[in-house]
Amino acid sequence: MKKYFKKDEWNIVEEGFHPDENRIYESVMSLGNGHMGIRGNFEERFTGDGLQGTYIAGVYYPDKTKVGWWKNGYPEYFAKVLNAANFIGIDLIIDDEVIDLAKTKVKSFKRILNMKNGYLKRKFTITTSSNKEFNVEVVRFLSIVDTELAAISYKITPINCNASITFTPYLDGDICNEDSNYNEKFWLELQKNVEKYNANLTMKTKKLNFIASTSMKWCIHEENIPINSSISVLENEKFVGNKISVSAEENKSITLYKYISVTTNRDYDDEDIVNKANERVKYAYEKGFESLFKEHASAWETRWNNNDIVIKGDVEAQQGIRFNIFHLYQTYNGMDSRLNIGPKGFTGEKYGGSTYWDTEAYCLPFYLSTANHQIAKNLLIYRYNHLEKAKENAQKLGLKGALYPMVTMNGEECHNEWEITFEEIHRNAAISYAIYNYVKYTGDKKYLADYGFEVLTEISRFWASRVTFNPYKNKYMILGVTGPNEYENNVNNNWYTNTMASWNLEYTFDVIFYLQKEHPTRFYELTDKLNLSDPEMCKWKDIIDKMYYPHIDSLDVFEQQDGYMDKEQLSVKDLSETDLPLNQNWSWDKILRSCFIKQADVLQGLFFLNDRFDLETKKRNFDFYEPKTVHESSLSPCLYSIIASEIGYIDKAYELYLRTSRLDLDNYNNDTEDGLHITSMAGTWMSIVYGFGGMRIKDDMLSLNPCIPNVWSKYSFRINFRGHLIKVSVENNIVAIEQQNGSEFNVNIYGENYTIPSKGEITVYKR
Note whether 401 and 536 are within 8 A (CB): no
Q: In the bound complex, what is the minimum distance in angstroms from residue 508's beta carbon to a copy of itself?
A: 23
The correct pick among 20, 224, 228, 472 for binding a copy of itself (CB under 8 A) is 472
Looking at 480, 483, 550, 675, which residue binds a copy of itself (CB under 8 A)?
A: 480
Q: Which stretch binds a copy of itself (CB under 8 A): 48-56, 415-423, 615-623, 688-696?
A: 415-423
Q: By CB under 8 A, what part of segment 37-66 binds a copy of itself?
A: 64-66
Q: Which residues, 6 or more positions from 482, have their beta carbon under 8 angstroms from its beta carbon?
A: 419, 420, 423, 424, 488, 489, 490, 491, 494
Pattern 340-369, a copy of itself, x by CB under 8 A: ------------x-----------------
For residue 22, report the phi and psi dihedrals to the nearest 5 degrees: -55, -35
Cβ pair 73, 422 in contact under 8 A: yes
- Out of 193, 385, 470, 740, the residue judged to bind a copy of itself by CB under 8 A: 470
- Judged by CB under 8 A, the chain residues 116 through 145 that form the site for a copy of itself are none
- For a copy of itself, give the closer residue by CB, 161 or 592: 592
The nearer residue to a copy of itself, 71 or 759, going by C-beta atoms, is 71
Strands 149-158 and 254-264: antiparallel
Contact status: 571 vs a copy of itself (CB under 8 A): no
With binding defined as CB under 8 A, does residue 312 bind a copy of itself? no
- C-alpha dihedral, 504 to 509 to 510 to 511, nearest 10°: 90
- Of the pair 75, 694, the CB lying nearest a copy of itself is at 75
How does DSSP assign 73-97, residue by residue?
T--SEEEEEEE--B---EEEEETTE
Q: Shortest Cβ distance from residue 391 to a copy of itself (Å)? A: 15
DSSP 547-593: B---EETTTTEE-SSTTGGGS----GGGS-GGG-SHHHHS-HHHHHH
* Minimum CB–partner distance for residue 406 and a copy of itself (Å): 11
Q: From the CB of 450, what's the least distance to a copy of itself, in Å?
A: 33
Q: How far is the CB of 28 from a copy of itself (least distance, A)?
A: 24
Q: From the CB of 568, what's the least distance to a copy of itself, in Å?
A: 5
Q: Which is nearer to a copy of itself, 275 or 583 (CB)?
A: 583
- Residue 572 interacts with a copy of itself (CB under 8 A): yes or no: no
- Closer to a copy of itself by CB, 18 or 64: give it: 64
Smallest separation, CB 591 to a copy of itself (Å): 8
389 touches a copy of itself by CB under 8 A: no
Q: Helix, strand, coil: what percent of the chain each, to 5?
A: 35, 30, 35
Q: List the x/- string, 546-565, binding to a copy of itself by CB under 8 A.
A: ----------------xx-x
Q: Shortest approach of a copy of itself to residue 304 CB, angstroms?
A: 37
Nearest in space to 341 (alpha carbons), one of 353, 349, 350? 353
Angstrom distances, CA of residue 44 to CA of 168, 169, 250, 263, 612: 9, 9, 21, 24, 57
Among 237, 589, 614, 699, binds a copy of itself (CB under 8 A): 589
**Binding flag, residue 617, a copy of itself (CB under 8 A):** no
Closest to 392 measured CA to CA, from 382, 379, 383, 405: 405
479 binds a copy of itself (CB under 8 A): yes
End-to-end CA distance of the chain: 38
Q: Which stretch binds a copy of itself (CB under 8 A): 122-130, 309-317, 340-348, 483-491?
A: 483-491
Of 298, 372, 584, 733, which one interacts with a copy of itself (CB under 8 A)?
584
Q: Taking the CB of residue 702, how many other CB atoms lie within 10 A of it?
A: 22
- Residues that contact a copy of itself, how many (by CB under 8 A): 53
418 touches a copy of itself (CB under 8 A):
yes
Please identify, using beta-carbon distances, which residue of 157 and 634 lies nearer to a copy of itself: 634
With CB under 8 A as the contact rule, the residue among 271, 566, 577, 611 that binds a copy of itself is 566
Please select the residue that binds a copy of itself; options are 416, 621, 679, 680, rule is CB under 8 A.
Answer: 416
Residue 9 designated active-site: no
Told to check if 184 binds a copy of itself by CB under 8 A, we report yes
Among 477, 543, 639, 708, binds a copy of itself (CB under 8 A): 477
- As a whole number of angstroms, the distance between CA 505 and CA 678 comes to 31
List beta partners, residue 157: 135
d(CA 447, CA 449): 5
Which among 240, 233, 238, 189 has a CA at the least distance from the CA of 216? 240
| Cα separation, 169 vs 408, whole angstroms | 36
**Binds a copy of itself by CB under 8 A, chosen from 73, 288, 443, 627:** 73
In the complex, the smallest distance separating the C-beta of residue 109 from a copy of itself, rounded to whole angstroms, is 34
To a copy of itself, the closest distance from the beta carbon of 586 in angstroms equals: 6
CB burial readout 72-101, b (16+ within 10 A) else e: eebbebbbbbbbbbbbbbbbbbbeebebbb
Instruction: Pick one of 71, 252, 541, 612: the residue that binds a copy of itself (CB under 8 A).
Output: 71
Q: What are the two backbone dihedrals, phi and then psi, of residue 410, each rounded to the nearest 5 degrees?
A: -135, 20
Q: For the residues of 348-417, what is the DSSP string, one character each?
A: -SSS-SSB-THIIIIIHHHHHHHS-HHHHHHHHHHHHHTHHHHHHHHHHTT-SS----SSBSSSSB----
Nearest-5° Cα angle at 620, 616 to 588: 150
Choose one: 157-165, 419-427, 635-643, 715-723; the region binding a copy of itself (CB under 8 A): 419-427
Contact stretch for a copy of itself (CB under 8 A) within 23-31, 94-102, 164-172, 590-598: 590-598
Which of 413, 423, 458, 559 is in the footprint of a copy of itself by CB under 8 A? 423
Cβ at position 471, least distance to a copy of itself in Å: 9
The smaller minimum CB distance to a copy of itself, of residues 202 and 594, is found at 594
Distance CA 276, CA 269 (A): 10
Three-state secondary structure call for residue 212: strand
Which position among 486, 626, 632, 673 bears the catalytic label?
486
Residues 6+ apart with CB under 8 A from 211: 190, 202, 203, 204, 205, 264, 265, 270, 273
Other Cβ atoms within 10 Å of 3 Cβ, number: 11
* Beta carbons within 10 angstroms of residue 743's beta carbon: 11
Query: Between residue 489 and residue 528, which ones bind a copy of itself under the rule CB under 8 A?
Result: 489-492
* 72 near a copy of itself (CB under 8 A): yes
Pick between residue 3 and residue 207 the one whose CB is nearest to a copy of itself: 207
- The phi-psi region of residue 739 (left if phi > 0; otherwise alpha if psi is between -120 and 50; otherwise beta) is beta
Looking at beta carbons only, is 69 or 765 nearer to a copy of itself?
Answer: 69
Task: Give me the residues paired with residue 703 across strands.
Answer: 696, 748
* From 20, 131, 182, 521, residue interacting with a copy of itself (rule: CB under 8 A): 182
| Residue positions annotated with a catalytic role | 486
- Which residues are at the interface with a copy of itself (CB under 8 A)? 64-69, 71-73, 78, 181-182, 184, 352, 396-399, 415-419, 422-423, 468-470, 472-473, 477, 479-480, 489-492, 562-563, 565-568, 583-590, 592-593
